């Protein structure tokens, strides 16, 4: 029993003294940990339920509402998941929430969808920055960018998703989509040249 317990943890105290065997343990555990990423994302998204902070609806309802609107508009699954998670950074990124959502989505979505999520806060500003003494046309700096129009479109959904009476679909409806989109990373520094997770030796 002690042996199997030891096999789940490496034994080094300094990484420069770690062995291949240590990292076979860590990689094996890491694959399991990574497989639970959708659960952690969904749990964090639910925390937005208590976050209203002056808005007409909670941040959680806003996310559900935007995802529902995108689905009804016929958008594909990856796009819908981007809509669902676009404000997931609100709790920890009060000054750069779009960067957090973009970082979470980056390994599993297209470059285009990543760019849209990363820049949505600037493009969303078109609808309210002028009320705060900011430049609502801040998005114009990207007017020649190939994804400009796509980000404008994304924010047309975003800015419209504050209706307390909108019949948003529940999170349970979107959960399978989140799990499918996050099932396999498309890009990561932890993937091999073949785009696969590092080969883990069979446990003896």
Contacting positions for Fe ion (CB under 5 A):
87, 158
Tell me if 86 sits within 8 A of 104, measured CB to CB. Answer: no
Least Å from the CB of residue 177 to Fe ion: 18
Least Å from the CB of residue 145 to Fe ion: 18
Q: Alpha-carbon distance 69 to 63, whole Å?
A: 10
Structure tokens at 107: 């390994």
The angle that helices 77-85 and 97-105 make with each other, rounded to 10 degrees, is 140
Choice between 63 and 178, CB closer to Fe ion: 63
DSSP string, 26-91: HHHHHHHHHHTHHHHHHHHHHHGGG--TTSSS-HHHHHHHHHHHHHHTT--HHHHHHHHHTTGGGT
Residue 171, CA atoms < 13 Å, CB-side half-sphere: 18
Choice between 29 and 153, CB closer to Fe ion: 153
Least Å from the CB of residue 98 to Fe ion: 6
Least Å from the CB of residue 97 to Fe ion: 6
Least Å from the CB of residue 167 to Fe ion: 18
Q: How many other β-carbons are positioned within 10 Å of the β-carbon of residue 126?
A: 18
Choice between 61 and 87, CB closer to Fe ion: 87
Choice between 71 and 158, CB closer to Fe ion: 158
Choice between 24 and 158, CB closer to Fe ion: 158
């Amino acid at each position: 029993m002690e042996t199997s317990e030891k096999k789940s943890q490496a034994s080094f105290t300094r990484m420069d003294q770690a062995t291949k065997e240590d990292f076979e343990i860590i990689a094996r555990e890491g694959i399991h940990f990574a497989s639970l990423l959708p659960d952690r994302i969904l749990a964090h998204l639910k925390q937005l339920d208590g976050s209203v902070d002056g808005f007409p609806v909670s941040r959680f309802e806003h996310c559900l509402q935007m995802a529902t609107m995108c689905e009804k508009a016929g958008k594909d699954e990856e796009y819908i998941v981007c809509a669902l998670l676009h404000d997931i950074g609100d709790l920890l990124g009060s000054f750069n929430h779009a960067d957090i959502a973009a970082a979470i989505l980056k390994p599993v979505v297209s470059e285009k969808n990543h760019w849209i999520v990363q820049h949505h806060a600037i493009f969303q500003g078109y609808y309210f920055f002028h009320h705060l003494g900011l430049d609502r046309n801040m998005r114009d700096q990207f007017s020649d960018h190939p994804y400009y129009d796509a980000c404008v479109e994304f924010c047309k959904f975003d800015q419209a998703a504050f209706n307390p009476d909108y019949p948003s679909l529940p999170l349970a409806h979107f959960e399978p989509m989140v799990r499918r989109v996050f099932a396999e990373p498309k890009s990561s520094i932890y993937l091999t040249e073949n785009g696969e997770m590092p080969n883990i030796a069979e446990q003896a």
